[in-house]
Structure 1
Amino acid sequence: MSDTPVKLIQRVTWIGAIANVALALLKITVGKLTGSQALIADGVHSFSDLVTDTAILIGSRYWTAPADKEHPYGHGRFETLTNIFIGVLLAIVGIGIGWNSIDSIGQESTTTPGMLAFWAAIASILVKEVLYRWTVIQSKKINSRALYANAWHHRSDALSSLPVAIAVSANYFVPDLYYLDQIAALLVTAMILKAAFEILWPAIVEITEAEADSEIEAKIQHYAKQDSDIREVHAIRSRRTGSIILLDFHLLVDPVMSVDKAHTITENFKSHILKQIDEVVDVIIHVEPYTCAERLINPCCGGDECHDEM
């Protein structure tokens, strides 16, 4: 029996959290043993991932809850708020790494960490990259943007370990190449900030009630043309709440059609949309007569044509 969305989210997040704790302890311990300040800082960064793990574990209980009287459109915005939190925290981490790199440019390291620090950094990169790819796959199964955002937090940890590995190996073999640490860290900062923007921007767009999907209107019009009983569809509006989309529009039918038949056509069309577009979970359809007063896509020109439509 497959997991429910909330169980899948929590199982994936718990696995990631356990890995974060193990890697953080490994990097801090090895960093102290080898004298690698960069590895110690990277271990502290791994502990920061626990903050987003906690946000996912708590938030998923709310955004997966069904609609109720207080939240008739569901609780999807809790996922949006979680995405904003993760995006902001990811941006702070990126800025912190970049600031430390800029501040230390030109400063020669006073210690030469052992290769044990290098292998600890490599282990972190491999584990976190595997976690990133696995979490992305799981997020796509249930279309969870928050889980996808947390996947990118895993990758940010892998990316932050990369300059550590480069710096440790460079310092070990060629002590004069200490500046590679700052250069690699700045590149990592750019990648982390890009990921933060890609998480934050859709959430901000959603909060401002922007159109959920620019392709939805074309899809609805395409489906409508396949049904000969539907004369016109217009005033299509969509909005996203978390990982789901809510949709409403006007549907025009023959003005002499019975209410019962118009209702059947509407319900069949609604079912078709819900089946074809996975993210859409609710559709509100306003039925109207296909008359000169209501039609918009192919308006009446006046004269005999208007009389024919009445």
Structure 2
Amino acid sequence: MSSTSEHGREKHDAAFKAAQVSVLLNAVLMTMQIVIGWLAYSDGLLADGVHTLADLAADGMVLAVLRLSATAVRRSANDQYDRYETIGSLLISFLLIATGMETLWSSLGHAVNVASASSVHASALVVAVFVIVAKEALFRYIMAVAKRTRSTLLVASAWHARSDAISALIAAVGILGSMAGLAISDRLAAAVIGVMIARIGVNLGWKAVKDSFGRPASETAGQ
């Protein structure tokens, strides 16, 4: 087996393992966020749970792309692997944009009825803080693997995890405001999370498009 082929296989295996770890953690966190967010009357935590649900869908896309790219890796077809990564990054970006817009629309609709909002329970704050720590740890792990394997797909996945850590922080601030008597703060936090998710999606999509146009030119120059 050639060194190029061996490197491609190692890159694929490391990326696949990182994606599996992300799936398991996101499944646990999403369940906690949605269940506790609903029970604790926290729109911010619920919005963050929807973001994590989008993470799960994105992880599924990553795993599917890695499966498809396995054949390309075995054949040492690195250009095909790069194409699969670009497609996966674009799918993640589209998912982020759609999730962000839906979250923003829903939170603004709920803000109109803020007078009837129930006080957020402290349990929502505990979950939000736990998610911040867990998501930041996941970001650092996936980014380390991405740098080692030079995987643009994992870079997109890592920043998706970091976006959840930031959105969990925003949710925590909104929950604190609600617990202090400002009921609208939790719903405004959900709206901010929606905008942030959509913005990250746009940035990732633009980067993927630029990479896809830039790669053929560099490959041609190297021939």
Give the match for residue 142 of structure 1: 149
Give the match for residue 90 of structure 1: 96
Cα shift readout 1:110-168 (whole Å, capped 9, x = no counterpart): 21122111111111111112211221221111111111111122122223323332222
Give the match for residue 196 of structure 1: 201
Pair 1:29 & 2:35 matched: yes
Whichever residue aligns with residue 34 of structure 1, its letter is A
Q: Quick check: which has more Rg, 1 or 2?
A: 1
Change (3 A) 1:187 1:28: closer
Looking at structure 1, the residues matched to 73 and 29 of structure 2 have their Cα atoms a distance apart, in angstroms, of: 36
Whichever residue aligns with residue 196 of structure 1, its letter is G
Change (3 A) 1:183 1:38: closer
Offset at 1:67? 7.8
Give the match for residue 225 of structure 1: none
Cα shift readout 1:46-78 (whole Å, capped 9, x = no counterpart): 222111111111211333524859x79534211
Offset at 1:9? 0.6
Identity of aligned residues (%): 27
Cα shift readout 1:161-220 (whole Å, capped 9, x = no counterpart): 2333222222222x2x2222344344434433332122111322344xx334xxxxxxxx
Q: CA RMSD in A?
A: 2.7
TM-score normalised to structure 1 length: 0.61
Matching residue within 15, 18, 25 for 1:12: 18
Offset at 1:18? 0.6
Whichever residue aligns with residue 82 of structure 1, its letter is G
Cα shift readout 1:95-114 (whole Å, capped 9, x = no counterpart): 12222233233432521122
Give the match for residue 60 of structure 1: 66
Moved over 6 A (4+): none
Give the match for residue 211 of structure 1: 214
Whichever residue aligns with residue 97 of structure 2, its letter is A
Looking at structure 2, the residues matched to 72 and 46 of structure 1 have their Cα atoms a distance apart, in angstroms, of: 31
Looking at structure 1, the residues matched to 166 and 49 of structure 2 have their Cα atoms a distance apart, in angstroms, of: 13
Give the match for residue 78 of structure 1: 84
- Unaligned 5+ runs, structure 1: 213-237, 240-244, 249-282, 285-310
Give the match for residue 269 of structure 1: none
SS of the counterpart of 1:76?
helix
Change (3 A) 1:247 1:48: same
- Unaligned 5+ runs, structure 2: 1-6
Give the match for residue 153 of structure 1: 160
Change (3 A) 1:106 1:12: same
